[in-house]
Amino acid sequence: MVAPAALRVVRCGGSTLHGVRAVFSADSKQVGPGYLLCASGDFVKMYSVTTEETLRLMGGHADLVTGIQLNPHNHMQLYSSSLDGSIKLWDFMDGIPIKTFTIGSKLLALYALASSEDSVFVVIPKSGERDTFQLVSVKLTKAAGHDLEAKELSVVLDGVDASPKRIAFGREGEYVASVKDVNLQVYFFKQKQLNRFSVSAMKTKGGNNHFTCIACHPTEDCIATGHADGKIRLWRNFCHKKEYTFSTLHWHHDTVMDLAFSMEGTRLLSGGVESVLVLWHNESDCQRDFLPRLGSAIEYISMSSDGTLCCTLHTDNRITIINSNLRFCKSIQGLIRSMDVKTGLVVDPRTKALVLNGEPGHLQFYCLQSDQQLFSLDIVQRQYIHQAGLNQTDLVKVAFSAQGKWLATVEEREELSDPGLQLKLWFYDEETQSFKLNTRINTPHEDHITDMCFRDMDELEDDSLILVTAGRDCVFKVWVMVEDTDPEAQQSVSWSCDFVGSYHNYQATNCCFSEDGSLLAVSFEETVTVWDSVTWDLKCTFCHPPGKIRNICFGRLTCSKYLIGATDYGFLCCWNLLSCALEWSAHLNVLVLQPDPLSEHIAAVSWLSKESSLFVFKPNEPRPIYIQKNLCKEKIQLAAFVPRDEPETISSEKYLWLRRSQLFFLTDTQELMTLSTKSLEERLTPSSKQLAVEESLPVTPFSLLLGKHRRQQSQEDIDLGKPVVHNKHEQDSPAVKELLHTPAHVLPSASFLCPIFINSLLISKENKSAEEVADEVEMESEKTEDDSDEERDVTEMEQEDTSPVELLGEMTCKLSKSQEKELRKIRKMDYSWIAAF
Amino acid sequence: FEVHRVRFFGLVPAGVRCLACQPRGGRLALARTDGAVEVYNFAANYFQEKVIPGHEARTVEALCWAAGERLFGAGLGGDITEYDLARLCVARSVDGCGGPIWSMAANSSGTQLAIGCEDGSVKLFQVVPGGIQFERNLDRRKGRILCLSWNPSDTHIAAGSIDILRVFDVSSGRTIQRIMVNYHVQKLKRECIVWSIAFLSSGAVVTSDSFGRVQFWDWERGTLLESHTVSTSAVLSLAVSEKEDSIIVGTSTGATYQFQLLPVKMGSLEKRWVRTKPFQHHTHDVRAVAHSSTALISGGLDAQLVIRPLMEKMQKKGYEAALRKFTFPHRRLVSCARKARLLLFQFSQHLELWRLGSTEETGKDGEVLPLCRMPEHLVQLKSKGPEHIYCSSVSPCGSWVAYSTASRFHLYRVQYEGDSVSVEKVPKVPKLLLPAYQLQFSSDSDSLFVASARGSVHVLQLLEPGGCKHLHTFQPPSGSPEAVYLLASSADGHWLAAVGGDWAIHIYNLKCFQHHCMVPMYSCAVTALAIHPVTNNLVIAYSDQQLFEFSIPQKQYTTWSRTVQNCGLHKVWLERDSPITHITFNPKNPSHILLHDIYMFCVLDKSLPLPDNSALLMNQSTLKQLPETARQRQLHAFKICKKFQPLLFADLLDENCLVMVERPIMDIKTQLPPPIQQKKFGT
């Protein structure tokens, strides 16, 4: 559709991406149990409330999404606003943008009201003044067409805060209340009256009473405001300038982050940094309930329109769904924002998940496809105490062996004198599907460990696995597995030190194995040393003064004879290992040097004059393949290549390096970014649609039957021992779909189609034996057929009124199916229609 | 100055037991746990206008105003007492015939009193001129009646008892509704005490109970309308504003809460009671609350009376809008013998005479000097009988001590022989019109002035060795029904100024025993006055913080006083919330006037210019940092020191020796019973 233009930088997780309150879709018969819509970076995500799955990703905004609101006149539609200055109207059931309204200036918050017919409210910066914002109402024209301009703005309130939490609309849209600093202003639309109130700015006992958030009672004239000192004030009688009054609720000891009233207004929810959700009954100070231990500070609270569910968004990118009697229901965990990502970005070879620091002392496995946490591994295994000034033990280094069978972690205390180092080796237990602690080594080095790597060899046996650690105590150590001789030991193997190497008493800073594992490069301050990994002889040294070595890595595949190093003084050097000479060098202040494990390409991220730039090169040529200047404004700290499940078809020569792996970056504000060749619309994954349809299936006898079938299948999947089967068949489905969607009369002969069909299923499972694959193919094809069948049915059911012609067309395309299936389908259709009535 | 910082005055003020606002009036009556009754005047900046000292056998459980200006009290003694506010004593007392009386309420017109007794009876009394008359008994049931309230149309009475509240019909005397208060809480075995009750004109009955609830009942149907749990401990008191749109409740944790009747939606008629503002001014039980038209008033067992103005009812921000906390009486409880360096402390039942310590060292400004002789407790005089002491005084030479109770006047001769002290009662004290409201010795210690009722002042001549003679009685020429409560005599023994309850200041000539003149009337209460020893100018401090200087010989205000009035005093000075309680002079520098209130001590230098509103009033600390030349420009008449707090008494012993009597609040708190333990976050 769109020619592959320049690469786009796409935010895909992490940081404080949940910038606004989540929205529950309205509960209605047609929609079913309901969805949760959430702004996440440049996208709007739709989660299923019942299964916590990401159903749809609605992208189209070119900058952060700053507000989402259901269309009050059509509950199947959603407005979203973004910093790029546009409001989009979505049909979120289908993920289709219906209209785009361009406004022009940055939009910082969005509000929609049932009482205002065709206008929405947005917060925009006041032109000409810095840091002042105003609330304006925007008339959305009803003209036909996809892209519209909305220019009719009328200012409602001046001097509002940019945060969406600090404006609220009251009962039936009669008034709007906004807070900023110590001032509350209430504007009554009908009377055109503006009342201002303020709390005393005096700081009491260290806390200040600045307003932090606001919520309006849905049926009464009551405004709840949260304050930075932990108080909640309930304002009443604010239609009088003088005789207003307020009462105070106080439980939080620190800032109240967000407030929400229940639909009837009898209950008030509040949350803050205590990570406790507080439920206040009847605005009474004494009656309150708590939901403690929510993990991290609550940033936003939202209620569903029927009041059965509420949802909290946390600072660590988690969404928690809580039911009406304050029970924890579900949680959707995104990328946890940790204090400091010391481990770097590591890819788990087994799950292809990104592995990095999570909660303090934990390692998070983050699935990039679904933007969800797979699991969190407790490494430190110690209670974390939230208190300033304590020296916490934290995880600093992580390394995986080639197949992900072994995991090595290093933890240390935040103390300079006695870091209390521990090296832990974890073995992946197939039965429990988790890592088990195998060996713990206390004080592996005298001083901080600077780098760690496994010998990365796919074909070698387990017992030749080698771990190398480089420490600031001027040595690197080689660890090997040894058989345990002690019969009482529960494990058969453990790890012990095999070799200690040093070089002129310099601090070891980096270590790296060559691709075939025969050479180990260890950098000692200004020098790179190359060692034979069998005899542990020092082979040669390289040096590029001045400047200490910051990063080193070996080239891959055809370029495996090269060693790349980056120095502090801004030089990128490439040494030829055969000639032991400098091949080329370039002046570049490289922060991150990351080789692609599946190709020769190496990505280097530089930091120059307040912007990050990306250079991709092959070691054998000094000219970079690809340069992207101004990747982003923030400093990029870490990067990782994540192998794709299937190679992407990339037309342009320029982007070939993205074919097999995807590059992810983590900036210092902990935003996870990636590069994408696709245009905005294309990024909608095809699988999500299908899932959405499955989700909204009404419960019919057939769906139960189908469910049973699917469960059976998933059991079989587990038997086959592939945990990510779900993803895989999703990837397959386009090919299958293509086959099935083509009308029968234009299809080539079956003998021609068959190998393509089978091939499309084969690609991702090369390591399986032929029989297994055959079995699987049969099963999967059947299943996908089923899936697509039922999918079509349901779409028919939903769009009954759209076009009977289309329906007929689809009927004809299935003439090739067996009689039995025809019958079943007719039965199925009957059921679904009945259910619809 | 050499300052004696006195902290050995062990005064523990009695807790506030009940409060009563005069309906449509500007006065507040307060009863303390020791039986003392005080009257505060709203118009005069909440000045403590009248004090009726307590009586051992007479506790006051309830106070109410009836028939306009008449104040009635009832207590556990079983008597209903009427107070004579002009003579500041008990006018008459009637037995309630129902055992201890727990509650009393007057109807809206003030013609009838209802009392609730220990035996469960509610009795009605008719208020007649010159007393009260028993009218009838209402339906009697078991259980003491702890609180009573008339409905605004005077047809029904709601009475709160233990576990139950009843509504009586006044005309028939029948119980027409019984409501079990803890009907909804069946599991609890504890009894629920209805501590306070109020009958609203809408037909709702508001109760506050020991479970910490404030409940609104529909008395006709006997159903619960609203229930607000305010506290985990008891809600002891409740008061409704006259417009019935606001309620204040006081709890045993020391917190008070306001309830307001607010419309649910803008413009709609549906209204609901909403708990709005919490206030935590007290540390102990809030036994009494009152709701005036502009302020919430609460009194607690910690002896504090807190007046919290409602900001929204205020027209402007001024001294009326200040939060006031009264702990100590606005009276002088300490008298000082300047020459003998003695202090006399007045307690409710006894007097203590102390000799100040002394030192021989000298030091720099702000230095603490070591004492070479510790302060010495010389004598403790116990008053006889159940009555409490009205007033006391010690003569400047220290050899005479006088005090007065409601029915007796005592004069003692104190003789010092080395370290031993002998106290001898002066026999044959002349029969005077009792009680005495203020005692003042002349500066040469040979005569005693006794302030008495009807505006009269007696002059007694003291005779050596231990005798006295009645010389003369001054009467204001026009006559006055009110008692004299402040006296000031001149140092040369020529003049005497007396202030009565009608705030008129009369000046008498002592040499020829004649009424000299009257200071022009001012619309506020006099809080302190003194005659300058050199110029014989009378300096007067009023409760609205105004200062006047009146020249006695010329019978007119001095020019300085006129400039003060023309320029106006500093805004901060006028916004202070406690009245000036004592004035004295510096003999070394005649232009210095020394003033103090509870929170500050001020040297007023008449020779310096008055500060205007833009200047800093409390500028002593900034002045210290300035160089000499700049300091001269910044100087103004008020030199304020806030080092000593709370200051009960300050006086100048001689030219460079000052005595300050402090009573730290913390010391009082330690002598009170421990308050309800509350967990405080972060402690």
Backbone angles phi, psi at A401, to 5 degrees: -80, 175
Q: Round to whole Å and give the CA distance between A574 and B627.
A: 72
Average pLDDT, chain B: 84
Helix H or strand E segment including A704: helix A701-720
State the alpha helices, DSSP H only, in B490-543: none
Cβ-Cβ contacts under 8 Å for A418 (sequence gap 6 or more): none
Q: Report CB contact under 8 Å: A286, B212.
A: yes
The chain B residue lying nearest A191, using CA atoms, is B266
Q: Round to whole Å and give the CA distance between A744 and A730.
A: 23
3-class SS letters over A435-467: EEEEEEEECCCCCCEEEEEECCCCCCCHHHCEE
Q: Which residues 242-271 of A have a C-beta within 8 angstroms of B?
A: 242-248, 253
**For testing contact with chain B, the best of A221, A231, A266, A280 (most B CBs within 10 A):** A221
Residue among B228, B265, B278 whose CB faces A248 most closely = B278
pLDDT in tens, A469-481: 888 888 888 888 8
Q: Report CB contact under 8 Å: A237, B275.
A: no
Report the pLDDT value the prediction gives residue A712, as an integer from 0 to 100. Answer: 53
B276 touches chain A (CB under 8 A): yes
Mean pLDDT of A685-706: 45
CA–CA–CA angle A17, A20, A21 (5° rounding): 125
Backbone angles phi, psi at B524, to 5 degrees: -130, 165
Q: Round to whole Å and give the CA distance between B256 and B236.
A: 10
Distances (CA, A) of A301 to A28, A34, A110: 22, 17, 16
Distances (CA, A) of A205 to A252, A253, B251, B264: 15, 12, 25, 34
A323 touches chain B (CB under 8 A): no
Residue among B230, B231, B266 whose CB faces A239 most closely = B266
Q: Which two tokens stand for residue A281?
A: 């009954």
**Which residues is B472 bridged to in the sheet?**
B459
Asked if the model's pLDDT at residue B520 lies above 90, the reply is no
**Which residues is B594 bridged to in the sheet?**
B584, B603
- Binning pLDDT at 50, 70 and 90, where does residue A808 land? very low
Q: Report CB contact under 8 Å: A248, B262.
A: no
CA distance B460 to chain A (A): 57
The chain A residue lying nearest B273, using CA atoms, is A236
Peptide bond into B579 cis (omega under 30): no
- Binning pLDDT at 50, 70 and 90, where does residue A756 land? low
pLDDT in tens, B247-278: 999 998 888 999 988 888 877 778 888 888 88
A221 touches chain B (CB under 8 A): yes
Query: Helix, strand, or coil here: B5?
Result: strand
Q: Which residues 307-336 of B have a C-beta within 8 angstroms of A?
A: 312
Give the count of beta carbons closer than 10 Å to the beta carbon of residue A210.
18
| pTM of this structure | 0.74
**A contacts of B276 (beta carbons < 8 Å):** 236, 245-247
The chain B residue lying nearest A233, using CA atoms, is B276
The region of weakest confidence among A254-263, A326-335, A724-733, B574-583 is A724-733
CA–CA–CA angle A679, A682, A688 (5° rounding): 145
B227 touches chain A (CB under 8 A): no
Cβ-Cβ contacts under 8 Å for B508 (sequence gap 6 or more): B457, B474, B495, B496, B497, B498, B514, B515, B516
Backbone angles phi, psi at B247, to 5 degrees: -130, 140
Distances (CA, A) of A817 to A396, A750, A823, B79, B660: 58, 13, 10, 105, 108
Query: Helix, strand, or coil here: A706?
Result: helix
Q: Note whether B530 and B499 are within 8 A (CB).
A: no
Report the pLDDT value the prediction gives residue B249, as an integer from 0 to 100. Answer: 93
Q: Which CATH class is domain B96-229?
A: mainly beta
Give the count of beta carbons closer than 10 Å to the beta carbon of residue B274.
22
Going by the DSSP 8-state scheme, the letter that residue A653 receives in this structure is: G
Q: Note whether B409 and B418 are within 8 A (CB).
A: no
For chain B, the farthest-separated pair of C-alpha atoms sits apart, in whole angstroms, at: 83
By CB neighbour count within 10 A (0-12 exposed, 13-18 middle, 19+ buried), where does A115 fall?
A: exposed
Q: Round to whole Å and give the CA distance between B13 and B33.
A: 9
pLDDT in tens, B286-329: 999 998 888 889 998 888 888 888 866 665 555 555 677 787 88
Rg of the Cα atoms in chain B: 27
Q: Report CB contact under 8 Å: B312, A243.
A: yes
Q: Note whether A634 and A628 are within 8 A (CB).
A: no
Asked if the model's pLDDT at residue A492 lies above 80, the reply is no
Q: Which two tokens stand for residue B100?
A: 């201890």
CA distance A175 to chain B (A): 11
**A contacts of B277 (beta carbons < 8 Å):** 245-248
DSSP string, B358-396: B------TTPPPPPSB--EEEEEEEPPSSBPEEEEEE-T
Rg of the Cα atoms in chain A: 30
Mean pLDDT of A4-18: 57
Cβ-Cβ contacts under 8 Å for B182 (sequence gap 6 or more): B163, B188, B191, B192, B209, B211
Distances (CA, A) of A608 to A11, A615, B417: 21, 12, 96
The region of weakest confidence among A386-395, B233-242, B670-679 is A386-395
By CB neighbour count within 10 A (0-12 exposed, 13-18 middle, 19+ buried), where does A384 fall?
A: middle
Instruction: Pick the most confident of A825-829, B86-90, B163-167, B413-417.
Output: B163-167
Residue carrying structure tokens 């480089």: A470
Q: Report CB contact under 8 Å: B278, A285.
A: yes
pLDDT in tens, A593-621: 888 877 888 888 887 767 778 888 888 88
Report the pLDDT value the prediction gives residue A710, as an integer from 0 to 100. Answer: 52
By CB neighbour count within 10 A (0-12 exposed, 13-18 middle, 19+ buried), where does A187 fall?
A: buried
B94 touches chain A (CB under 8 A): no
The region of weakest confidence among A649-653, B198-202, B444-448 is A649-653
Q: Round to whole Å and give the CA distance between A726 and A721.
A: 12
CA distance B275 to chain A (A): 7
Residue among B229, B277, B682 whose CB faces A287 most closely = B229
Average pLDDT, chain A: 74
Q: Round to whole Å and give the CA distance between B611 and B616.
A: 8
pLDDT in tens, B570-629: 877 887 778 888 898 888 888 888 888 888 888 888 888 887 777 777 777 777 777 777
Per residue in A799-824, is it b (16+ CB within 10 Å) or e — as a string?
eeeeeeeeeeeeeebbeeeeeeeeeb
Percentage of chain A surpassing pLDDT 70? Answer: 72
Q: Note whether B284 and B302 are within 8 A (CB).
A: yes
Going by C-alpha positions, the residue among B528, B523, B531 that lies closest to residue B504 is: B523
Q: Report CB contact under 8 Å: A283, B274.
A: yes
> Strand B223-229's sheet: what is its strand order?
B194-199, B204-209, B213-218, B223-229
CA distance B267 to chain A (A): 9
Q: Report CB contact under 8 Å: B277, A245.
A: yes
**B contacts of A174 (beta carbons < 8 Å):** 266
B384 touches chain A (CB under 8 A): no
Percentage of chain B surpassing pLDDT 70? Answer: 95
CA–CA–CA angle B553, B556, B557 (5° rounding): 115
Residue among B232, B263, B276 whose CB faces A246 most closely = B276
- Helices A770-798 and A819-836 meet at what angle, rounded to 10? 40
Report the pLDDT value the prediction gives residue A385, as an integer from 0 to 100. Answer: 62
**A contacts of B260 (beta carbons < 8 Å):** 236-237, 245
Q: Which amino acid is at B290?
A: A
**Which residues is A180 bridged to in the sheet?**
A183
The chain A residue lying nearest B246, using CA atoms, is A245
pLDDT in tens, B42-65: 877 788 888 888 888 888 999 999
CA distance A195 to chain B (A): 14
pLDDT in tens, A523-571: 888 888 888 888 888 888 888 767 788 888 888 877 888 888 888 877 8
pLDDT in tens, B147-165: 999 988 889 999 999 888 8
What is the distance of C-alpha B212 from the center of its chain? 29
Q: Report CB contact under 8 Å: B260, A236.
A: yes
Cβ-Cβ contacts under 8 Å for A535 (sequence gap 6 or more): none
A239 touches chain B (CB under 8 A): yes
**B contacts of A253 (beta carbons < 8 Å):** 681-682
Q: Report CB contact under 8 Å: B266, A221.
A: yes
Give the count of beta carbons closer than 10 Å to the beta carbon of residue B497.
24
How much of chain A is in helix, strand and coil states, percent to nearest 5?
15, 45, 40
Q: Report CB contact under 8 Å: A245, B229.
A: no
B229 touches chain A (CB under 8 A): yes
**For testing contact with chain B, the best of A171, A216, A236 (most B CBs within 10 A):** A236
Residue among A221, A242, A247 whose CB faces B275 most closely = A247
Q: Report CB contact under 8 Å: B266, A283.
A: no
- Binning pLDDT at 50, 70 and 90, where does residue A708 land? low
Q: Round to whole Å and give the CA distance between A763 and A772.
A: 14
Residue among B263, B265, B274 whose CB faces A247 most closely = B274
Per residue in B634-644, is it b (16+ CB within 10 Å) or e — as a string?
ebbbbbbbeeb
**For testing contact with chain B, the best of A186, A220, A234, A276 (most B CBs within 10 A):** A220
DSSP string, A592-622: EEEE-TTSS-EEEEEEETTEEEEEEE-TTSS
Q: Which amino acid is at B454?
A: R
**B contacts of A284 (beta carbons < 8 Å):** 228-229, 275
Report the pLDDT value the prediction gives residue B315, as an integer from 0 to 100. Answer: 57
B512 touches chain A (CB under 8 A): no
- Binning pLDDT at 50, 70 and 90, where does residue B168 land? very high
A237 touches chain B (CB under 8 A): yes
Cβ-Cβ contacts under 8 Å for B638 (sequence gap 6 or more): B570, B573, B602, B603, B604, B611, B617
Query: Helix, strand, or coil here: B219?
Result: coil
